[in-house]
Amino acid sequence: MGILFPIDRVRSEFPILHQQIYKRPLVYFDNAASTQKPVQVIDAIRKYYEVDNCNIHRGVHYLSVKATEAYEEARKEIREFINARNTHEIIFTKGTTESLNLVAASFGKRYISEGDEVITTIMEHHSNFVPWQQVCLEKGARLRIVGIDEKGALNPEELEGMINERTRLITLTHVSNVLGTINPVEEIIRMAHEHNVPVLIDGAQGISHLPVDVQAMDCDFYCFSGHKMYGPMGIGVLYGKEKYLEEMPPYQMGGEMIRDVYTDHTTFNDLPFKFEAGTPNVEGVAGLRAAVYYLKDLGMNAIAAYEKQLLDYATAMLAEIRGVKFFGTAASKASLISFLIGNVHPYDTGMIIDKMGIAVRTGHHCAMPLMDSLHIPGTVRASFSFYNTIEEIDLLATAIRKAKEILE
């Protein structure tokens, strides 16, 4: 490898990677679905239960205050990690899906009416597609969908051509979970803002691969999940600009999101608590904080550079296999490869590769509109993390050759 990356140390910190599957070393290439967790994250969760566990915000006793402080410190860490202007612009959710549903429901209620339009893209994960489709159906609004070219890239001019005085929001993914395409979000946001249209970025696949600076990007919302960035499941973040979050109504009602409750009406809490009803995932926040430390320590630029080498190597190796067709070859791409072998069903390929100890994902990857537009039932997806190696990619190439031999 051309760049220095502490791969041996990194691998030693992920206990799950050191096991045998079907008597072979596990090769984990399903990172776009969920990443594995370093010992630092696992330890943070154990420590939370061993010494800190308590419900937060509502107690005067020692443990409750300690747990609350740790939870709020974590919010500051996340703010810093994505460079949000204000800590109260960081809302904890259970993941990207909940963050997106929160915005669709709340922003939809406040800003979307009959005849309005929302623009999205054909490459969205269902969680950034269905909530908007449903809000539009409910409100009598129109969901407009930008297409992709043969490489799997968006055309920003096509998107700009769709903006008009009825456009209320543009919502798109930072990185496609199927194609790997890194969308030109800065350019799209600049363009949208010239028309006074806010932009939501689904960062589920962006946050673990790229440095994210929400102020530099100038997005109005950014959503991500802990479990895709080496943190725990069931925790995620919604970043939103204060001006929108202040105006948007609460998404769920219950404890913590209220200021005063009367028999005939209720006043709501300040940000971020207005959007955090009920007992939150305090354990998840402790784990997410440890994941953020971990990523900061490695450095997002170093991660991106190492993963680019993995992607380039894997692309070259798989391109040598006759009959392998790639889906997503955009110039700007994150470290995943979607492919098919000839006309073989992705599920069959995935099954054989699995028996060789290699975990890849097969299917529509929660992007049925994209699959329809490509006229395929699904793909095989190998998604790489910074704990993967060149040797593992060699094993994948061998496994694909074997699968091809068997299936063709």
- List the structure tokens of 16: 């799950």
271 membership: H or E segment, kind and range: none
Which of 35, 120, 225, 389 contacts ligand PLP by CB under 6 A?
225
| Nearer CB in complex with ligand PLP: 97/362 | 97
| Minimum separation from the CB atom of position 358 to ligand PLP (A) | 19
Angle among Cα 122, 190, 84 to the nearest 5 degrees reads 95
> What are the strands, taking DSSP E only, across 69-178?
90-93, 117-121, 142-146, 167-173
| Minimum separation from the CB atom of position 207 to ligand PLP (A) | 10
Residues forming beta bridges with residue 363, ordered by sequence position: 379
Place of tokens 């410190």: 73
| Nearer CB in complex with ligand PLP: 177/379 | 177
**Under the criterion CB under 6 A, does residue 101 sit at the interface with ligand PLP?**
no
| Minimum separation from the CB atom of position 56 to ligand PLP (A) | 23
Over its C-alpha atoms, the chain yields an Rg (Å, rounded) of 22
Residue 263 DSSP one-character state: S
C-alpha torsion angle, residues 203, 77, 58, 241 (rounded to 10): -50
**CB neighbours of residue 300 within 10 Å:** 17
| Nearer CB in complex with ligand PLP: 189/395 | 189
Q: Which span sits near ligand PLP by CB under 6 A: 94-102, 186-194, 288-296, 313-321?
A: 94-102
**Under the criterion CB under 6 A, does residue 96 sit at the interface with ligand PLP?**
yes
Concatenated DSSP letters for 307-328?
A: HHHHHHHHHHHHHTSTTEEEE-
Which of 31, 101, 120, 173 contacts ligand PLP by CB under 6 A?
173
Q: Which span sits near ligand PLP by CB under 6 A: 73-81, 105-113, 120-128, 382-390?
A: 120-128
| Minimum separation from the CB atom of position 125 to ligand PLP (A) | 3
Positions 179 through 218 that interact with ligand PLP (CB under 6 A): 202, 204-205
Give backbone dihedrals phi and psi of 93, rounded to 5 degrees, phi first: -130, -175
Q: Would residue 366 show up in a list of annotated catalytic residues for this protein?
A: yes
**Under the criterion CB under 6 A, does residue 349 sit at the interface with ligand PLP?**
no
Q: Note the residues at the interface with ligand PLP (CB under 6 A).
A: 95-97, 125, 127-128, 173, 177, 202, 204-205, 225
**What are the residue numbers of the active site?**
366
